[in-house]
Chains A and B, each alone.
Chain A
Amino acid sequence: MSTVWAVLLLAVVLAFAVVRPRGLPEATAAVPAAAIAIGGGLVPWAAARDEMIMLGPTVGFLAAILALAHLADSWGVFAFAGGLAARASRGSPTRLLTVVFAIAAAVTAVLSLDATVVLLTPVVFATAAAAGVRARPQVYACTHLANAGSLLLPVANLTNLLAFGATGLTFLGFAGMMALPWLAVLAVEYAVFRWFFAGDLATPARPVPVEPAPAPRFALAVLALTLAGFAAAEPMGVAPAWIAAGGAVVLAVPLVVRAPRRARAAWAIVLETNPLFCFFVFALGVVVLALRQHGLDDLITALTPHSADLLGLLAVAGLAALLANLVNNVPATLVLVPVVAHSPGLVLAALIGVNVGPNLTYVGSLATLLWRRILHARDEPPATGAFLRLGAISVPACLLAAVVALWVALKLSTVL
């Protein structure tokens, strides 16, 4: 009976997060659901508290990196990237796609996938439009690389942050293990995009002279130092959240000092940390814990292979991709990682699944896609069939390439 209640709670939390009636924040349903799970005895208070303490550094980091990305945008980093892409493409749609791949992969790895989806994608569209290039391949490259490009660094995706502790790796160790799978995914995505969008890419563009924009040197330097700080501070026991917060403060201070209404500017930056989202992640962790303790852990354990050989890695990545498409990648990570935590190789395979898998529907999960189709009855029939096809082609190929690359990396590794 408890299992039914736990499933029901998670279903309500996820359905609310997707539907968001009247635009209410996701925490509106998640926090009461977590309270019910604790109050109703599904999760002992001590276990829920431990879960939230475990999630603390992750959620803190996320808040800081969200603010950091928005501050980088305020300093003109993304506009600079757009100008750079336009100049480097020299009027060729194919070269523009190549540069967008590089920029999107870098932004995702350093500033997390949220920055790529929210901040970089509109800039890339504007860049393509200004260059007289059909924007579809470049824009979809951003949405695809936000997920698939987030394998490299522990800070690139909330899923990585949730699993990072379980891998037992250092910051640079994680990057070292994931570099090969990351490159494999980028190569496969690039090949699929070149083939899939061949028509758009072959259409000539009329090169437009692009004014070289000055590089936002201060912001780029702060971002570079922040990135170096992640790698350098972690062995000393300093959580990346503090480094990201430090970088955000350094970028924020000059903006606040310059603003005509300082208090309001400072408050706007504090809001960029999205505190309600942080509550949502804490509450989701508790609700998923309730379900894990009432049967889900046993079920996943039965389904999950226990050795990190090639077949085991493939099976875990496939299961993770499936789960990510059923319930979205964050709950999927919360469910899967504790079960495979005994083997760092399997944790990394699970990450490949939850990061690459969501591109199957490009919105992150089938449930999200179906709900949005139902709720947002559109005037025009959506022309997205082609992009489901793009996902169907690229995701299995990327998963396979990334897992094989991970297997090679594990064989070569002296760390694991």
Chain B
Amino acid sequence: MKVVVWLAEGTWQACVDAAAEVAPPSASITLLHVTDPALADDVSDAFAGLVGRGSRGPDPGAAISAAAARSEEAMLAAAAARLDRASSPVRRHGRLEREVVAAAEGADLLVVARDGPVTRLGPRSLNPPTRFVVDHAPCAVLLVWPTAPPAVDTIPPPPHKAAPPHKAAPPKKAPPPPH
């Protein structure tokens, strides 16, 4: 069995723990981290926008690339230590969602953490890249909560029963049927 664990900032611990729990001892585990170069590129662009200053001095985008590479190594090392069994790290560069889907090719299971709001149950509580990965993964996906999941009553009410926003409490009697 091939298990790919997508490690993302702030949520990777939950993925590692879930992988350790569900992957059989014979499984081969891949720890995947993706760096999106867009952030460093955009900082380089902001530097280039300081017209006239660019002839000399360090490009802050390059500093961010270097810092990103360092934090990637730290995260992969910490994840391998937390997993405490054989695993192989994979580093990819590019658009998060596309790289994760590509890395999951041929895998049996992809472990992904929810991100976005974690204080209520859906909808639209996944950040767009995670949503894309869940939608497009070419294998089974295990979607884990990074923290304890919120209670079931945090589901927003169905739209037609929602209280009007300007009223503090919903009316006792049923609202009149729509015309």
What is A's interface to B at a CB cutoff of 8 Å?
14, 17-18, 20, 23-27, 93, 113-114, 117-119, 121-122, 125-126, 129-130, 132-136, 139-140, 143, 146, 198-200, 202-206, 271, 274, 276-277, 280-281, 284, 328-331, 358, 361-365, 368-369, 372, 378, 380-384, 387
Q: Which of B10, B46, B56 contacts A132 (CB 8 A)?
A: B10
What residues of chain A lie closer than 8 Å to B41, measured between beta carbons?
378, 382, 384
Stretch with Cβ within 8 A of A (4 or more), from B24-32, B60-68, B158-166: B60-68
CB distance from A156 to the nearest CB of B (A): 13
Contact A202 B51 (CB under 8 A): no
A-B contact pairs, 20 of them (CB 8 A): A14-B51, A17-B52, A25-B55, A26-B54, A114-B50, A118-B60, A125-B64, A134-B8, A134-B9, A199-B115, A200-B115, A202-B119, A203-B9, A281-B52, A284-B52, A328-B51, A362-B42, A364-B48, A372-B45, A382-B38
Question: Does B47 reach chain A (CB closer than 8 Å)?
Answer: yes
Closest 6 CB pairs of A and B: A364-B49, A25-B55, A122-B63, A129-B71, A363-B49, A383-B38
Question: Does B149 reach chain A (CB closer than 8 Å)?
Answer: no
Q: Please, how many angstroms separate the alpha-carbon atoms of A118 and B48 in the complex?
A: 11
Contact A363 B48 (CB under 8 A): yes
Q: Which residue of A lies closest to B9 (CB)?
A: A134
Provided the pairs A125-B67, A204-B147 are in contact, do residues A26 and B10 lie with their beta carbons within 8 angstroms?
no
User: For chain A, what secondary structure do more than half of its interface residues adopt (helix, strand, loop), or is it mixed?
Assistant: helix
Q: Which residue of B lies closest to A140 (CB)?
A: B42
Contact B55 A24 (CB under 8 A): yes
Q: Which residue of B lies closest to A373 (CB)?
A: B45
Contact A205 B10 (CB under 8 A): yes
Question: Does B116 reach chain A (CB closer than 8 Å)?
Answer: yes
Provided the pairs A23-B55, A118-B58, A383-B36 are in contact, do residues A203 and B48 lie with their beta carbons within 8 angstroms?
no
Q: Please, how many angstroms separate the alpha-carbon atoms of A202 and B124 in the complex?
A: 12
Question: Does B146 reach chain A (CB closer than 8 Å)?
Answer: yes
CB distance from B146 to the nearest CB of A (A): 5
Contact A362 B94 (CB under 8 A): no
CB distance from B147 to the nearest CB of A (A): 5
Question: Does B136 reach chain A (CB closer than 8 Å)?
Answer: no
Question: Does B138 reach chain A (CB closer than 8 Å)?
Answer: no
What is B's interface to A at a CB cutoff of 8 Å?
8-11, 13, 36-39, 41-43, 45-58, 60, 63-64, 67-68, 70-71, 93-95, 115-119, 126-128, 146-147
Q: Please, how many angstroms separate the alpha-carbon atoms of A148 and B41 in the complex?
A: 20
Contact B9 A20 (CB under 8 A): no
CB distance from B163 to the nearest CB of A (A): 23
Q: Please, how many angstroms separate the alpha-carbon atoms of A382 and B38 in the complex?
A: 6
Q: Which residue of B lies closest to A143 (CB)?
A: B46
Contact A330 B42 (CB under 8 A): no
CB distance from B124 to the nearest CB of A (A): 9
- Between B9, B38, B57, B127, the greatest number of chain A beta carbons within 10 A of the residue's beta carbon is seen for B9
Contact B128 A121 (CB under 8 A): no
What residues of chain B lie closer than 8 Å to A364, measured between beta carbons?
46, 48-51
Contact B60 A122 (CB under 8 A): yes
Provided the pairs A26-B54, A204-B118, A364-B49 are in contact, do residues A199 and B128 lie with their beta carbons within 8 angstroms?
yes
Contact A202 B117 (CB under 8 A): yes
Contact A136 B51 (CB under 8 A): no
What residues of chain B lie closer than 8 Å to A204, measured between beta carbons?
10-11, 118, 146-147
What residues of chain A lie closer than 8 Å to B46, measured between beta carbons?
117, 121, 143, 146, 362-364
Q: Please, how many angstroms separate the alpha-carbon atoms of A297 and B179 in the complex?
A: 63
- Between A203, A205, A274, A361, the greatest number of chain B beta carbons within 10 A of the residue's beta carbon is seen for A203
- Between B49, B51, B71, the greatest number of chain A beta carbons within 10 A of the residue's beta carbon is seen for B51
CB distance from B162 to the nearest CB of A (A): 20
Contact A143 B43 (CB under 8 A): yes
What residues of chain B lie closer than 8 Å to A330, measured between beta carbons?
51-52
Q: Which of A200, A369, A372 contacts B127 (CB 8 A)?
A: A200
CB distance from A275 to the nearest CB of B (A): 10
CB distance from A367 to the nearest CB of B (A): 10
Q: A18-B48, A25-B55, A143-B42 are in contact. List 14 more A-B contacts (CB 8 A).
A: A26-B51, A27-B55, A121-B63, A122-B60, A135-B39, A198-B116, A198-B117, A202-B115, A202-B118, A203-B116, A274-B53, A276-B56, A372-B45, A382-B41
Q: Please, how many angstroms separate the alpha-carbon atoms of A381 and B126 in the complex?
A: 23
Q: Which of B36, B39, B67, B127 contacts A126 (CB 8 A)?
A: B67
CB distance from A410 to the nearest CB of B (A): 30
What residues of chain B lie closer than 8 Å to A383, measured between beta carbons?
36, 38, 95
Q: Please, how many angstroms separate the alpha-carbon atoms of A369 and B45 in the complex?
A: 7
Contact A203 B11 (CB under 8 A): yes
What residues of chain B lie closer than 8 Å to A113, measured between beta carbons?
50
Contact B127 A368 (CB under 8 A): no
What residues of chain B lie closer than 8 Å to A368, measured between beta carbons?
45, 48-49, 51
CB distance from A335 to the nearest CB of B (A): 14
Q: Please, how many angstroms separate the alpha-carbon atoms of A213 and B52 in the complex?
A: 35
